[in-house]
């Protein structure tokens, strides 16, 4: 068992939350019980995850996508009211870490994506408000696009996999950015990447990949962001001797 205050202070330092100009609050979003014995992690704050936390008798729900975003209305009603009701009725704490979790060099979503592709050398990539939130990797031994697709399918089990096969036969340099970042394919090409892996695709992505001769894989926003919270939950369980379970809600997007 540990306390919420200890976890809060530890995560603020570990994830360097104050260094990021994010468009949502990072850290505690709903404060519940002060004592933490069990954590449940998931990609996004939603009713299914909260109900799973209640069933598991968890004290803390830790997610990548929280309840509150800067663009949202400041009226508690409808969907947000239903979600908050579950948290408050069961005295559950909700913590969310967005860009700080994407960018972490050991536990983050993006370094996790590079690891599953067997990247050996990495450097910062993917800038948002002048802050690198991702990584680009390089291999000494080249691989094929088929190899990369196989590794993505095996590790992420995405519901859909969009493949734009327009880059070179031999892949050595791969840039990644989890979630919704198709526009970063421009930076990937500028940095000399052979392949860009992200979550979401958009309409211009196809033309850029084809015309600029770069491979692209879009493996789903949800699927590409399962790695960070899972790794963070496991790390906290080991560090504080508390229980942890990752709950993967169904989301085909």
Residue 190 is predicted with a pLDDT of 97
Q: What percent of the chain has pLDDT above 90?
A: 94
Alpha-carbon gap, residue 16 to 22, rounded angstroms = 12
Residues 6 or more apart from 87 whose CB is under 8 A from it? 30, 32, 50, 61, 93, 94
Contact 127, 187 (CB under 8 A): yes
Residue 129 is predicted with a pLDDT of 84
User: Could you tell me if residue 242 is inside a domain?
Assistant: no
Residue 50's CATH number: 3.40.1390.30
Q: What is the pLDDT of residues 118-137, one digit of tens each?
A: 988 999 999 988 889 999 99
Choice among 33-47, 54-68, 127-141 with the minimum mean pLDDT: 127-141
Residue 128 is predicted with a pLDDT of 86
What is the average pLDDT across 148-169?
96
Query: Is the same domain home to 126 and 191?
Result: yes
Domain end: 66, 97, 128, which one?
97
Query: Which domain covers residue 26, as residue numbers?
Result: 2-97
Element (H, E) at 58: none
Kindly report whether the global pTM for this prediction surpasses the value 0.85: yes
Query: Is the same domain home to 120 and 77?
Result: no
Residues 6 or more apart from 244 whose CB is under 8 A from it? 38, 39, 40, 41, 233, 234, 236, 237
Query: Is the same domain home to 162 and 93?
Result: no
Total tally of structural domains belonging to the chain? 2
Phi, psi for 78 (deg, rounded to 5): 55, -125
How far apart are the two ends of the chain, measured CA to CA in Å? 36
Alpha-carbon gap, residue 17 to 97, rounded angstroms = 8
Residue 232 is predicted with a pLDDT of 98
Give the pairing type, strands 162-164 and 27-30.
unpaired
Q: What is the pLDDT of residues 60-102, one digit of tens each?
A: 999 999 999 999 988 999 999 999 999 999 999 999 999 999 9
Residue 192 is predicted with a pLDDT of 97
Alpha-carbon gap, residue 226 to 178, rounded angstroms = 9
Model confidence band, residue 161 (pLDDT cutoffs 50, 70, 90): very high
Q: What is the pLDDT of residues 199-241, one digit of tens each?
A: 999 999 999 999 999 999 999 999 999 999 999 999 999 999 9
Query: Is the same domain home to 26 and 116?
Result: no
- Chain-centroid distance of CA 229 in Å reads 7
Residue 164: is its pLDDT beyond 90? yes
Q: Which long-range contacts (CB under 8 A, 24 or more apart) does 8-13 make?
A: 8/95, 10/239, 11/95, 11/97, 11/236
What is the average pLDDT across 234-252?
97
User: Could you tell me if residue 117 is inside a domain?
Assistant: yes
Residues 6 or more apart from 121 whose CB is under 8 A from it? 137, 138, 139
User: Could you tell me if residue 248 is inside a domain?
Assistant: no
What is the average pLDDT across 28-47?
97
User: Could you tell me if residue 203 is inside a domain?
Assistant: yes
Q: What's the mean per-residue pLDDT of the chain?
A: 96
Query: Is the same domain home to 115 and 198?
Result: yes
């Amino acid at each position: 068992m540990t306390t919420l205050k200890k976890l809060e202070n530890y995560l603020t330092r570990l994830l360097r939350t104050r260094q990021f100009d994010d468009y949502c609050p990072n850290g505690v979003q709903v404060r519940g019980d002060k004592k933490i014995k069990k954590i449940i992690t998931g990609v996004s704050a939603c009713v299914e995850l909260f109900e799973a936390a209640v069933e598991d008798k968890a004290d803390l729900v830790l997610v990548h996508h929280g309840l509150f975003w800067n663009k949202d209305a400041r009226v508690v009603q409808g969907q947000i009211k239903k979600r908050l009701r579950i948290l408050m009725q069961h005295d559950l704490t909700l913590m969310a870490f967005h860009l700080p979790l994407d960018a972490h060099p050991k536990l983050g979503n993006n370094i996790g994506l590079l690891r599953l592709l067997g990247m050996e050398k990495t450097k910062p990539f993917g800038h948002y408000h002048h802050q690198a939130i991702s990584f680009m990797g390089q291999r000494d031994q080249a691989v094929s696009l088929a190899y990369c697709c196989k590794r993505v399918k095996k590790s992420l089990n995405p519901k859909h996999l969009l493949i734009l096969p327009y880059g070179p036969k031999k892949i050595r340099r791969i840039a990644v950015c989890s979630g919704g970042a198709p526009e970063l394919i421009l930076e990937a090409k500028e940095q000399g990447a052979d392949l860009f892996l992200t979550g979401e695709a958009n309409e211009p992505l196809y033309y850029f990949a084809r015309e600029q001769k770069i491979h692209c894989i879009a493996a789903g926003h949800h699927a590409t962001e399962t790695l960070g919270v899972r790794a963070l939950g496991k790390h906290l369980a080991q560090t504080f001797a508390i229980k942890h379970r990752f709950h993967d809600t169904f989301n085909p997007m």
